[in-house]
Amino acid sequence: MYRSHNNGSLRASDINTEVTLSGWVQKSRNKGFMIWVDLRDRYGITQLIFDEERTPKNMMEQARTLGREFVIQVTGTVIERSSKNPNLPTGDVEILVSKLTILNKALTPPFTIEDETDGGEDVRMKYRYLDIRRNPVKNSLIFRHKVAMEVRKYLSNQDFIEVETPYLIKSTPEGARDFVVPSRMNQGQFYALPQSPQTFKQLLMVGGMDKYFQIVKCFRDEDLRADRQPEFTQIDCEMAFVEQEDILNVFEGLTRHLLKEVNGVEIEKFPRMLYDDAMRRYGNDKPDIRFGMEFGELNDVAQHKEFNVFNNAELVVGIAVPGGNSYTRKEIDQLIDWVRRPQVGALGMVYARCNDDGSYKSSVDKFYDQDDLAKWAEVTGAKKGDLICVLSGDTNKVRAQLSALRMELATRLGLRDPKVFAPLWVIDFPLLELDEETGHYHAMHHPFTSPKPGQLELLATDPGAVKANAYDLVLNGNEIGGGSIRIHDKKTQALMFDYLGFTPEEAKAQFGFLMDAFQYGAPPHGGLAFGLDRLVAILGGQETIRDFIAFPKNNSGRDVMIDAPAAIDEEQLQELNLKLRK
């Protein structure tokens, strides 16, 4: 037996008992006649003491050799500490060691195993097993486990059944790029790893499973943007005999449960916002509503003057930055530079200071008088002491630009408090999205999403206007979940594939099994999927997902710890009937 207790468990009530502990040497203080060692494990830290009076000489010698991260086992007596540490749950006691065994030595770790480490991202990832010893990473993984358990408990109590769907499925070129898996037993053929279990969960609804969920890995072979992973985890859910309202209620309940159990935050009813309103008011389909700074559309009050930049713009839109009048000219110039960075892409920014005396001072005073600017302030909700920032251009672009600015300013102003949770349903998403490169429409959510009743006809005349029974759950400016009511009849599904440019043959080859299934009694159904990595990070008050994933990949899709991917043997390639191109 390696231990009688863990290193987080001993208290004053244990004094005088003999215990055996195991763990890592966090640090050791050697005062010559006395040595203290902090012994660490997942559960905490317990202080060990060796001293010349009470410790045999050879054990003192051995204790002096203990380096950081050595793995040791000790037996000893729990005694009262002379100087207690109120910051440590075990801080009232220490162990007078009577037996010391070095279980494994350790090289000096390449970075310190402390909450604030001196290790950079790259070295931490290469030695991720050491990084995981650090509290911030360890606690993030434990937190993730807790969230996942609460999800399972909640859904299971609501009669959801977790069903495992297959990982080796079929490639469908539509949508994002699949990872493929060559089949040895069926040469020349490939499996694909699922981008999501979408069609399988729909088949489970056709199969009468009624309420399904699964916490499941999904795969996308995309060029990785920052903070994206080629493999990621979804809480995938589907329900039969439901309308949008039923789904929103169930998953609002789940999210409310998580906020309460995991964060101790109670939120009554989640607000809902139409997609069109979200775009108009925040320039974004996942608005962060922890703070205001809503968009004010200024076309009516800023166009038809002499300022042609605005006159030629499809949209002139501004936000009021609280207290922004205190910015120096230099700071404002830096803001202008910020929106002109290629990542944001604005051509420039107009601003108006709202002075404390009620007057305005703008960068376009030549074109706009005080009355004009007062209207700007009214539309953007700017108050004395604020700064109005105005962008103009094509509606879609300028909204994205101003949204980026809004988020940046809110971050700078400390308005994005990670302890505040502001969930929001965004509903009535468009069914289709115009691909500006090809000029074709494609499914905004996926080709299985049903248009709103009666809107199918619009497809022929005004495809961009067709709304879908599709919804996203947004938390603090992040999409944490999204879903839709699905098509459940073969005719509509065939129409949709046709509209999206599938030939009937392609539709049959790729999704024939689903359309067949719809002929054998498919119930109305719909669902939602949460991105677990993101959800956990946000609940954990973090912006990046990486430390909530035990072994993440870097932006090139590499695992730098195990050094994957890697070349494989020629023999393996031969068995798979494959050759590398030159």
**Which residues 10-39 are close enough to bind its own copies by CB under 8 A?**
22, 24
Q: How far is the CB of 413 from its own copies (least distance, A)?
A: 36
Q: How far is the CB of 78 from its own copies (least distance, A)?
A: 19
Number of residues that bind its own copies (CB under 8 A): 125
Neighbours of 306 (CB within 10 A): 10
Q: Which of residues 386-405 bind its own copies (CB under 8 A)?
A: none
Element (H or E) spanning 478, and its range? strand 478-485
Cβ-contact 322, 380 below 8 angstroms: no
The residue (of 86 and 453) whose beta carbon lies closer to its own copies is 453
Residue 109, both tokens: 């770790």
Q: How far is the CB of 70 from its own copies (least distance, A)?
A: 6
Q: How far is the CB of 27 from its own copies (least distance, A)?
A: 13
Nearest-angstrom CA–CA distance, 396 and 415 = 25
Cβ-based burial of 569 (10 A; exposed 0-12, middle 13-18, buried ≥19) = exposed
Q: Which of 52, 99, 241, 260 binds its own copies (CB under 8 A)?
A: 241
Q: Which of 138, 281, 305, 452 binds its own copies (CB under 8 A)?
A: 138
Radius of gyration of the chain (CA): 30
The residue (of 163 and 309) whose beta carbon lies closer to its own copies is 163
Q: Is the dihedral of CA 446, 452, 455, 456 positive or negative?
A: positive
- Going by their DSSP bridges, the two strands 71-80 and 93-104 should be labelled as antiparallel
Q: How far is the CB of 198 from its own copies (least distance, A)?
A: 12
176 sits near its own copies (criterion: CB under 8 A)? no
114 sits near its own copies (criterion: CB under 8 A)? no
Judged by phi (left if over 0) then psi (alpha if -120 to 50, else beta), residue 249 lies in alpha
Select from 426, 406, 165 the least CA-distant residue to 276. 426
The residue (of 269 and 579) whose beta carbon lies closer to its own copies is 579
* Contact region with its own copies (CB under 8 A), list: 242-250, 311-319, 433-441, 474-482: 242-250
152 sits near its own copies (criterion: CB under 8 A)? yes
Nearest-angstrom CA–CA distance, 483 and 445 = 8
Q: Which of 167, 327, 338, 367 binds its own copies (CB under 8 A)?
A: 167
* Contact region with its own copies (CB under 8 A), list: 88-96, 102-110, 395-403, 431-439: 102-110
Q: Which of residues 203-232 bind its own copies (CB under 8 A)?
A: 203-204, 206-211, 217, 219, 221, 223-224, 230-231
Q: Which of 165, 284, 403, 450 binds its own copies (CB under 8 A)?
A: 165
Cβ-contact 20, 3 below 8 angstroms: yes
Q: Which of residues 525-554 bind its own copies (CB under 8 A)?
A: 549-551, 553
The residue (of 13 and 101) whose beta carbon lies closer to its own copies is 101
Residue 91, both tokens: 């801080």
246 sits near its own copies (criterion: CB under 8 A)? yes
The residue (of 323 and 501) whose beta carbon lies closer to its own copies is 501
- For residue 178, give Cα distances in angstroms to 175, 270, 446, 449, 509: 9, 35, 15, 20, 17
Nearest-angstrom CA–CA distance, 389 and 405 = 9
Nearest-angstrom CA–CA distance, 35 and 27 = 11
Select from 60, 56, 55, 37 the least CA-distant residue to 47. 37
Phi and psi at 524, nearest 5°, equal: -60, 140
Q: How far is the CB of 64 from its own copies (least distance, A)?
A: 18
The residue (of 142 and 347) whose beta carbon lies closer to its own copies is 142
The residue (of 8 and 385) whose beta carbon lies closer to its own copies is 8
Tell me the three state secondary structure of residue 384: coil
Q: Which of 226, 438, 439, 520 binds its own copies (CB under 8 A)?
A: 520
The site map against its own copies for 490-519 (x = CB under 8 A) is -----------------------x---xxx
- For residue 441, give Cα distances in angstroms to 435, 438, 486, 489, 496: 6, 8, 19, 22, 11
Phi and psi at 484, nearest 5°, equal: -165, 165
Q: Which of 36, 117, 127, 385 binds its own copies (CB under 8 A)?
A: 127
Q: Which of residues 250-269 bind its own copies (CB under 8 A)?
A: none
Element (H or E) spanning 354, and its range? strand 350-354
Which residues, 6 or more positions from 297, have their beta carbon under 8 angstroms from its beta carbon?
280, 315, 316, 317, 379
Q: Which of 19, 28, 41, 350 binds its own copies (CB under 8 A)?
A: 41
Residue 400, both tokens: 């994205």
105 sits near its own copies (criterion: CB under 8 A)? yes
The residue (of 331 and 570) whose beta carbon lies closer to its own copies is 570
Phi and psi at 360, nearest 5°, equal: -125, 150
Q: How far is the CB of 504 from its own copies (least distance, A)?
A: 17
Q: How far is the CB of 439 from its own copies (least distance, A)?
A: 21
Cβ-contact 178, 191 below 8 angstroms: no
The residue (of 26 and 362) whose beta carbon lies closer to its own copies is 26
State the DSSP code for 349. Answer: -
Residue 171, both tokens: 């490639």
Q: Which of 15, 274, 434, 576 binds its own copies (CB under 8 A)?
A: 576
Q: Which residues of 193-223 are buried (b: 16+ CB within 10 A; e: fewer)?
A: bbbbbbbbbbbbbbbebbbbbbbbebbbeee
Q: Which of residues 55-84 bind its own copies (CB under 8 A)?
A: 69-71, 73
Q: How far is the CB of 183 from its own copies (least distance, A)?
A: 4
Q: How far is the CB of 163 from its own copies (least distance, A)?
A: 5
* Contact region with its own copies (CB under 8 A), list: 295-303, 326-334, 342-350, 559-567: 559-567
The residue (of 215 and 336) whose beta carbon lies closer to its own copies is 215
Q: Which of 89, 385, 524, 541 binds its own copies (CB under 8 A)?
A: 524
Q: Which of residues 183-202 bind its own copies (CB under 8 A)?
A: 183-186, 188-193, 199-200
